[in-house]
Amino acid sequence: MTFTVVWLSSAQGHLANIWTVGPDRTAITKAANSIDRLLRQDPFGYSESRAGNERIMFVTPLGVSYDVIEEDRLVTVWAVWKIKK
């Protein structure tokens, strides 16, 4: 069963900014698409837990923080950042 993935507008805006100023837009696009796919399939399997429902995931060159409401099959991405090398 799949999960619905929702990005808060603040996270979408930050992702757009990362993409706009990023030197490798293809890598950023691929990472964002992979994050969406992984979160839809299994938001627990590719991430680390934090307090409460919060989780964190890394798909180079991006990191995301999100909440999972398992009974609603809902994932809410509320933060995204570029991983520094």
At 41-82, the pLDDT tens digits run 999 999 999 998 899 999 999 999 999 999 999 999 999 999
- Domain boundaries, position 51: 4-82
pTM: 0.92
CATH of the domain at 15: 3.30.2310.20
Domains identified in the chain, total number: 1
Question: Which residues, 6 or more positions from 61, have their beta carbon under 8 angstroms from its beta carbon?
Answer: 22, 24, 27, 28, 31, 82, 83, 85
